[in-house]
Amino acid sequence: MAKKDKFTVEDDELLAALGVEVEVKKKAIFTALEERVIAGFEEIQKFIEEHKRLPLHGEENDIFERLYAVRLEKIKEKQEFIDLLKDIDYQNVLSGNFKKTIEISDDLDDDELLNLLGVEAEKDSITNLKHVKTRAEKRAVEEFANRTLCEDFEKFKPFFEQIKREIDTGLRETIRFRKDAGFTKTSLRQAQFLIVGGQIAHIAEIGETFKAPNGEDDARLRVIYSNGTESNILLRSLIRAMYKDETSRFITDTSLGPLFSDETSEDDQESGTIYVLRSFSNNPIVKENKDVVHKIGVTGGKVKKRISNAKNDPTFLMAEVEVVATYKLANINRVKLENIIHKFFYSAKLDIEIKDRFGKPVKPNEWFLVPIFIIDEMVSKIKDGSVSDYYYDAESVKLKKY
């Protein structure tokens, strides 16, 4: 080893004598997290080299491919990871310019070509003509070719985030695709959300209807997927994909119904009250933003009783509060509704830490930097069942439609 070091030093001296500046490259130092991210991305690159495509979700794929698909999504979500990996991303996976490449030899016959495309060729029979592609094969090749990167995915991304939140809170449900309903009887519509191939799919556009060879109505769709891709798949092809996918599901619409009314009938069962509170806390953040710092909660009892011990309760910022607004509930799940409200205003959640009467630090929930007129507007959207069509933009202080 000493001999090698000697020659290295002599080489450097010789270059210096010749007037050549020797650049000493510093070895990059990565954190443990960055090393794991790099190693994980290299595994994804190896998969892409072997399979000539990106890893996909779906029960039909093995656990490692699904793991790589999830890992790739997580990397794309963080700009710091994209910046970390951009110099080694020789396949343009993170830049969005990845092109699926298939090496096709002139010696390949039809069966080998279909196998390369991932299409199972039908067995030879007297009715299956060799070298003549069936309609099913043509559809498979077409669907394969039409899956591309969604250039305006940022416009659709909030939709998918909202859908996931609403499924988590129970505002929406997923219903298994019913094969017994019959293939031709299944109908899809514009703006509908589905789960197919392990991805949430959104039918963004439906083109003009035309007659398919079997006489059924068909149309060209623009379908956006939660992984940032899109396809211009045919309506019947999408239904066929759902039919074949054992895990495919429909995502229900939100239908809260009339939750509130100025009058209640004898048949209504009052379930509780939404309350909006303002705090008299001396905390600088609360004091400076007193007019927009509100606690939003749901109770099944009396609001006055709920806040009677506010000055000793860290939930109420260890201070007296005043009731700004209340809304009566009827025939509603209080816990579910409270979750919906809190997730709706999550971007405006007040991040604050106070000490309880024992000096223990506590982070209160249910406090938001939201003006009362915005809360009123949100409640009105819940009343007419359209709340799922909106989100709160904290920067512009407006409810915006997706």
pLDDT digits (tens, 9 = 90+) for 156-175: 998 898 888 777 766 677 88
The verdict on residue 111 lying in a domain is no
Q: What is the pLDDT of residue 167?
A: 78
For the segment 59-75, the average pLDDT, to the nearest whole number, is: 81
Residue at a domain's end among 188, 223, 251: 251
56 and 165 fall within a common domain: no
pTM of this prediction? 0.40
- The pLDDT confidence band at residue 257, using thresholds 50, 70 and 90, is very low
Q: For residue 296, which amino acid is it? A: I
For the segment 201-214, the average pLDDT, to the nearest whole number, is: 88
| Mean pLDDT over each residue of the chain, to the nearest integer | 77
Tokens of 373: 């007129």
229 and 181 fall within a common domain: yes
276 and 389 fall within a common domain: yes
- The pLDDT confidence band at residue 52, using thresholds 50, 70 and 90, is confident
C-alpha closest to that of 382 among 323, 336, 322, 324: 336
Residue at a domain's end among 251, 283, 299: 251
- The pLDDT confidence band at residue 319, using thresholds 50, 70 and 90, is very high
The verdict on residue 130 lying in a domain is no
Q: What is the pLDDT of residues 27-39, one digit of tens each?
A: 568 888 888 889 8
In this structure, the strands spanning 390-393 and 398-401 are antiparallel
Q: What is the pLDDT of residue 202?
A: 93
The verdict on residue 137 lying in a domain is no
Q: Does pLDDT of 107 surpass 60?
A: no
Q: What is the pLDDT of residue 10?
A: 61
The verdict on residue 15 lying in a domain is no
290 and 198 fall within a common domain: no
SS3 state of residue 349: strand
Q: What is the pLDDT of residue 122?
A: 47
- Ranking 59-63, 105-109, 348-352 by mean pLDDT, the lowest is 105-109
> In residues, how long is the chain?
402
- To the nearest 10°, the Cα dihedral for 134, 123, 178, 206? -20
The domain tally of the chain equals 3
175 and 245 fall within a common domain: yes
Q: What is the pLDDT of residue 178?
A: 60
> CA-CA distance, 162 to 196, in Å (whole number)?
18
Q: Which residue has the higher pLDDT, 242 or 205?
A: 205
Q: Does pLDDT of 123 surpass 70?
A: no
Q: What is the pLDDT of residue 368?
A: 95
Q: What is the pLDDT of residues 183-207, one digit of tens each?
A: 445 678 888 899 988 889 999 999 9
Q: What is the pLDDT of residue 2?
A: 43
184 and 277 fall within a common domain: no
> CA-CA distance, 384 to 337, in Å (whole number)?
14
- The pLDDT confidence band at residue 11, using thresholds 50, 70 and 90, is low
- The pLDDT confidence band at residue 258, using thresholds 50, 70 and 90, is very low
Q: What is the pLDDT of residue 367?
A: 94
Q: How far is CA 114 from CA 48, 117, 133, 141, 237, in A?
A: 19, 5, 10, 8, 18
Q: What is the pLDDT of residues 365-397, one digit of tens each?
A: 889 999 999 999 998 888 777 787 788 888 899
244 and 291 fall within a common domain: no
Identify the top-confidence range among 26-30, 109-113, 252-256, 263-267: 26-30
201 CB burial (10 A radius; 0-12, 13-18, 19+): buried
Tokens of 180: 């017994």
52 and 84 fall within a common domain: yes
Tokens of 217: 């109505």
For the segment 120-134, the average pLDDT, to the nearest whole number, is: 44
Q: Which residue has the higher pLDDT, 253 or 289?
A: 289
The verdict on residue 8 lying in a domain is no
> CA-CA distance, 361 to 340, in Å (whole number)?
27
DSSP letter for each residue of 21-72: PPP-PPPP---HHHHHHHHHHHHHHHHHHHHSS----STTS-HHHHHHHHHH
> CA-CA distance, 115 to 118, in Å (whole number)?
5
Q: Does pLDDT of 310 surpass 60?
A: yes
For the segment 285-310, the average pLDDT, to the nearest whole number, is: 90
DSSP letter for each residue of 160-202: HHHHHHHHHHTSS-EEE--GGG-TTT----TT-EEEETTEEEE
301 and 329 fall within a common domain: yes
Q: Which residue has the higher pLDDT, 309 or 135?
A: 309
Q: For residue 317, which amino acid is it? A: L
The verdict on residue 247 lying in a domain is yes
> CA-CA distance, 337 to 329, in Å (whole number)?
10
The verdict on residue 122 lying in a domain is no
DSSP letter for each residue of 254-301: P-------SS--TT--EEEEEEEEEE----HHHHHTTTTEEEEEEESS
The verdict on residue 322 lying in a domain is yes
386 and 274 fall within a common domain: yes
C-alpha 165, offset from chain centre: 9
> Which domain does 280 fall in, by range?
270-401
- The pLDDT confidence band at residue 250, using thresholds 50, 70 and 90, is confident
235 and 311 fall within a common domain: no
246 and 209 fall within a common domain: yes
